[in-house]
């Protein structure tokens, strides 16, 4: 069955994570994605290991490069540059994450491409925008630090997230923008330039923390696993191991208090409302910890869940996949054919008519050069 983006051609000049994540999502939805990468080494993430997959490529590279065909080009050489320009001229979407302005020397910037392909949707991803921050390197860790995320993560010192979350968020923002631009082109016939930066994506994703600063002048700091505006909403120690409790309203708190045999807490002026609980967080934590240490995590999870109190264990990655499988979410997909495919994390969205497809395994560098050049008449 054709995907939602069937017959959409993507010329993907992006590297590493944010751009490749966006182009993979487009490929999952049926777009034809041509991954342009340097001959030999290819995308930097091919060397980012261990761990490595059975085909010898890094699992990092595998994570965002399925459903793509690899076209190895040295765009600094005239012949390869000619091929790259012809590809961009035919593409519905051009995606890149070079430093702003860097592709102009090759005739692959938006102005050059749009001159011959006015309906092109050209998505440019940068670390800090195309203005005064154009020369700053756009690495996720730097943006986590400079964008404020590390200042609100951790317990005793600034801490990065356990995954390159800014790159992933930026890839999602890029994908949403591209789909909106496709819809606009469908109506008007006009393409456009899309600019997405890691810093702007992060500031948007800081949501309540950023809004607290913009709207009230509050500058948050790290609080470990606690929430700045909700309590109890963190990790608590039981008799055997930690348990997350995520109470979002007073009704849930009353159910929690009753279930742990502390019904009076819900009527106590210190804890009766969420603002009161936040103001008296330390005292509340002491009360809850004493009660929760009376039983193990499994006991509390069972009785609290039955009482309508949101709670759960802290799973490792293996346990998380096992849970998703148990719940019927199908978190793993076979990419490629049964004979030479490999298991990967599935696209998280379920479509009733145009489901995600997994027809191409992550490519080796330049494996599709001859076929792509012939199919799209790029010589």
Nearest CA among 40, 29, 11 for reference residue 66: 29
Record the pTM: 0.94
Taking the C-alpha atoms of residue 246 and residue 231, their distance in angstroms, rounded to an integer, is 8
More confident residue, 342 or 142: 142
Does the pLDDT of residue 235 top 80, yes or no? yes
Q: What percent of the chain has pLDDT over 90?
A: 96
Taking the C-alpha atoms of residue 61 and residue 74, their distance in angstroms, rounded to an integer, is 20
Residue whose token pair is 């995954």: 163
Nearest CA among 207, 132, 137 for reference residue 169: 207
pLDDT of residue 358: 96
Whether 55 sits among the annotated catalytic residues: the reply is: no
Domains and CATH numbers, the chain: 9-205+329-375 (3.40.50.10540), 233-237+242-313 (3.30.1540.10)
For the chain, the average pLDDT equals 96
Strand extents, DSSP E, 238-368? 242-246, 311-312, 332-335, 342-345
The confidence band for 314, taking pLDDT boundaries of 50, 70 and 90, is: very high
Q: Which residues contact 336 (CB under 8 A, 6 or more apart)?
A: 342, 358, 359, 360, 361
Question: Using one digit for the tens of pLDDT, what is the confidence trace for 244-256?
Answer: 999 999 999 999 9
The confidence band for 342, taking pLDDT boundaries of 50, 70 and 90, is: confident
Pick the catalytic residue from 167, 268, 368, 377.
Answer: 167
Taking the C-alpha atoms of residue 367 and residue 87, their distance in angstroms, rounded to an integer, is 17
Strand extents, DSSP E, 136-295? 192-197, 233-237, 242-246
């Amino acid at each position: 069955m054709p995907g939602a983006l069937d017959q959409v051609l993507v010329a993907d000049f992006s590297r590493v994570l944010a751009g490749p994540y966006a182009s993979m999502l487009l490929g999952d939805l049926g777009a034809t994605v041509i991954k342009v990468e340097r001959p030999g080494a290819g995308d930097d993430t091919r060397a980012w290991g261990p761990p490595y997959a059975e085909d010898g490529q890094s699992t990092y590279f595998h994570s965002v490069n399925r459903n793509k065909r690899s076209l190895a080009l040295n765009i600094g050489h005239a012949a390869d540059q000619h091929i790259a320009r012809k590809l961009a001229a035919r593409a519905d979407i051009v995606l890149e994450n070079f430093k702003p302005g860097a592709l102009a020397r090759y005739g692959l910037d938006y102005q050059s491409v749009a001159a011959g392909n006015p309906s092109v949707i050209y998505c440019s991803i940068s670390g800090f925008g195309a203005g005064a921050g154009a020369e700053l390197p756009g690495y996720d860790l730097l943006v986590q630090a400079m964008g404020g995320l590390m200042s609100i993560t951790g317990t005793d010192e600034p801490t990065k997230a356990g995954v390159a979350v800014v790159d992933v968020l930026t890839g999602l923002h890029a994908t949403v923008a591209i789909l909106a631009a496709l819809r606009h082109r469908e109506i008007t016939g006009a393409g456009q330039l899309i600019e997405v930066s890691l810093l702007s994506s992060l500031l948007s994703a800081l949501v309540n923390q950023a809004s607290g600063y913009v709207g009230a002048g509050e500058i948050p700091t790290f609080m470990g696993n606690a929430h700045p505006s909700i309590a109890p909403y963190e990790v608590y120690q039981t008799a055997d191991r930690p348990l997350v409790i995520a109470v979002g309203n007073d009704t849930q708190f009353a159910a929690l208090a009753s279930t742990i045999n502390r019904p009076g807490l819900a009527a106590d002026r210190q804890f009766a409302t969420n603002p009161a609980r936040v103001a008296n967080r330390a005292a509340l934590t002491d009360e809850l910890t004493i009660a929760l240490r009376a039983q193990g995590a499994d006991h509390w999870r069972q009785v609290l869940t039955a009482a309508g109190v949101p709670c759960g264990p802290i799973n490792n990655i293996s346990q998380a996949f096992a849970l998703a499988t148990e719940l019927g979410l199908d978190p793993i997909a076979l990419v490629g054919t049964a004979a030479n495919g490999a298991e990967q994390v599935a696209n998280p969205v379920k479509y009733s008519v145009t489901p995600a497809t997994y027809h191409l395994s992550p490519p080796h560098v330049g494996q599709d050069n001859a076929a792509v050049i012939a199919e799209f008449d790029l010589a």
